[in-house]
Structure 1
Amino acid sequence: MAKSSKLVAAKRGRVLLVRRKRDGLWMFPGGRKRARESAKDCLRREIKEELPKLKLGRVRLWKEVEAKNRRSGRKMSDAIFVAAKAAGRLKIGDKKEIDKAIWRKPRGIRLTPTSRYIRDKLFPKSS
């Protein structure tokens, strides 16, 4: 069972990313599950907290990832969801945790290890 949930929303070749305040790294929005909370409920709560004006269409589970980061040794335990549609203003709700949200191409930006994994699997480099 995944310990956190992440959202992948893409439109016109761009993905939705948020910047963590504590280290300036970018990531796909989401966060940690609470006790007795499903992965999908966690995702909806986290999105409402982080980006309260964002409206999501149908959300489906893409993959649950349990892996170890080779660099840091930290374990990844994430349920990764893909949104069929996302719209609305990118107004930050939780300003203590994140300070910016953008739609942009997923390359050429400093991402968290989990977000790099998601990017590399869902948006591989064009050959």
Structure 2
Amino acid sequence: MAKSSKLVTARKGRVLLVRRRRDRLWMFPGGRRRAGESERSCLRREIEEELPELKLGRLKLWKEVKGKNRRSGRQMSDAIFLVAKASGRLKIGDKKEIDRAVWRKPPGIRLTPTSRYIRDKLFPS
């Protein structure tokens, strides 16, 4: 089972990204799974915490990504979900963790390692 879950959704050629407050890196929304929680439940809970006004359609598991961050040495284990429909305001819920949410094109932005992997696989230049 993956340690965390990420959401990928696109609208008009733009993807939904959130910016972490601590290092100002952008990432696809999501977070760490709690004990006894499924990847899908984790993602729904994290989206509710980070972006409480965002409404999601049906989640589809795209891929589980396992690897090692070359910089930190940290093991990555993420379940990546795709959703065709997302609507609602991008109001930040957890302001201690996230300071911005935007719809934008993925190239040319500083992303976390997992989010770079997702961008490169799903949105090649």
How high is the TM-score relative to the length of structure 2?
Answer: 0.98
Paired residue type of 1:42: C
Residue of structure 2 equivalent to 1:9: 9
Residue of structure 1 equivalent to 2:103: 103
Superposed counterparts of 1:28-67, under 5 Å: 28-67=28-67
Tell me the percent identity.
Answer: 81
Query: Following the alignment from structure 1 to structure 2, what is the Cα–Cα distance between the partners of residues 100 and 70?
Result: 26
SS of 2:119's partner is helix
SS of 1:99's partner is strand
Structure 1 runs of 4+ with >4 Å offset:
none
Paired residue type of 1:47: I
Paired residue type of 1:57: G
Query: Following the alignment from structure 2 to structure 1, what is the Cα–Cα distance between the partners of residues 11 and 72?
Result: 31
Paired residue type of 2:29: P
Instruction: Structure 2: give runs of 5+ residues left out of the alignment.
Output: none
Residue of structure 2 equivalent to 1:18: 18
Residue of structure 2 equivalent to 1:69: 69
Instruction: Structure 1: give runs of 5+ residues left out of the alignment.
Output: none
Residue of structure 2 equivalent to 1:81: 81
State the Cα distance separating 1:71 from its structure 2 match. 2.9
State the Cα distance separating 1:93 from its structure 2 match. 0.2
Residue of structure 1 equivalent to 2:117: 117
Paired residue type of 1:96: K
Query: Following the alignment from structure 1 to structure 2, what is the Cα–Cα distance between the partners of residues 110 and 117?
Result: 12
Query: Following the alignment from structure 1 to structure 2, what is the Cα–Cα distance between the partners of residues 108 and 96?
Result: 25
How high is the TM-score relative to the length of structure 1?
Answer: 0.96
Paired residue type of 2:66: E
